[in-house]
Amino acid sequence: MFIRKDDKISTSQAAIYLNNSILGAGILAFPRFGVQSVGTPDVWMSLLLSGMIAMMSVLIMVKLSQQFPGRTVFQYAKKIAGSPIGAVIGFIMVMYFMLIAGYELRVFAEVTLFYLLEGTPVWAIVIPFIWVATYLVHGGINSIARLYQIIIPASILILILSFGLSVRLFDINHLRPVLSEGVMPVLSGLKSMMLLFAGCEMTMVLVAHMDDPKQAAKAMVYGTSLPLILYLITIIVVIGGMSADSVMRSTWPTLDLLRSFETAGLLLERFEFPFIVIWMMQLFCNFCSFYYGASLGITQLFGAKLRPVILGITPLLYIIALMPKRINDLFGMGTFIGFTGVGLFLVLPILLSAVYIIRRKGLKQNVQ
């Protein structure tokens, strides 16, 4: 049994890492956002399109990161855009990572408190969660990736199993007619579906940690397609099982789908509970990704040591998680994060790439 000292991750680990950064709390509520913004059952098309767009931007990020082997965005943004602007970009990304980590944490706490542990104080759920995450993140990206490898099969299995059992509710007519009002609703749905892929800017951190950065494009495309496929299954099963009219009125439609049936004769009668419990681990992964990303960012921006930073930002994460006063604030925070995310993973890589190309090709500067 060898223990790696260099804290690098393999190609498949990188793919799973990216997958776990994208796949998080969104799955619980996104069918509602989708139906609300699209207005027809064609949400899955918007989702598919958003996935494609996200994948392209991931490829741009990979190309950009490959120009700076072993360096993360926090380091190469400074090289490309100059120290002050680069620092600002890095700082925004750190803030964003922390915000998203806090958001995942809070969604997890809300769902658990509402359906599972009514009456438990919120800190009793949030604080142990942060502690365990702190312990994991201390181990570095390699330990995180190895935990992800253990968790991802379990969460995919339970997701597919729960959805499989809901098949009896499925009615294809709920998904018809296709494109009844043309493509405009599908395009207007892009806005809310893009938010689901917030988290893929983690690519700009991951490539630097890869064993074999040449494989980065492959790994990152896999890492984006897996969540895309799982989201697609979710939206089809949820709308097909509940009808768009019903999804529109449900706070957590994915959970409501699982609450809409009881399985007699199986070991378990109700599948929302195992689903919430297993998805808890998935949210934990998601949280750890961003927690690590934020710590790493601070370390590289300010030249600090990693471990004190990891410990140091725990109170911040706790405060961010408990910031939303009501559930509307939480959903508002989700939308804000989504838009920031879209900005970061759509606009930022293109801008950075453009500046890089102009400086390299146009001005013949040495940008390293």
By CB under 8 A, is residue 156 in contact with another protein?
Answer: no
Q: Which residues pair with 9 in a beta bridge?
A: 210
- Which of 83, 85, 181, 315 contacts another protein by CB under 8 A? 181
Give 104 or 272: the residue with its C-beta nearer to another protein.
272
- Which of 69, 245, 308, 329 contacts another protein by CB under 8 A? 245
Q: How far is CA 278 from the centre of its chain?
A: 16
Give 6 or 118: the residue with its C-beta nearer to another protein.
118
By CB under 8 A, is residue 248 in contact with another protein?
Answer: yes
What are phi and psi for residue 210, nearest 5 degrees? -80, 140
For residues 245 and 250, what is the distance between their CA atoms, to the nearest angstrom?
Answer: 9
Q: What is the DSSP string of 329-345?
A: HHHHHHHHHHHHHHIII
Residues 68-88 as b/e (b if ≥16 CB within 10 A, e otherwise) read: beebbbbbbbbbbbeeeebbe
How many residues in the shown chain lie near another protein by CB under 8 A? 29
By CB under 8 A, is residue 249 in contact with another protein?
Answer: yes
Give 261 or 291: the residue with its C-beta nearer to another protein.
261
Instruction: Indicate the Cα dihedral angle 245, 246, 250, 255, nearest 10°.
Output: -140
Structure tokens at 368: 């390293």
Pick from 163, 157, 202, 244: nearest CA to 65: 202
**Interacting stretch for another protein, rule CB under 8 A, among 60-68, 86-94, 168-176, 198-206?**
168-176
For the four alpha carbons of 10, 49, 275 and 280, in that order, the dihedral sign comes to positive
Give 91 or 115: the residue with its C-beta nearer to another protein.
115
Q: Cβ 114 to another protein, closest distance in Å? A: 5
- Which of 246, 316, 353, 360 contacts another protein by CB under 8 A? 246
**Interacting stretch for another protein, rule CB under 8 A, among 13-21, 191-199, 241-249, 326-334?**
241-249
- Which of 21, 250, 295, 340 contacts another protein by CB under 8 A? 250
Element (DSSP H or E) covering residue 64: helix 43-66
The footprint of another protein (CB under 8 A) covers 114-115, 117-121, 124, 169, 173, 176-177, 180-181, 242-246, 248-250, 256-257, 259-262, 270
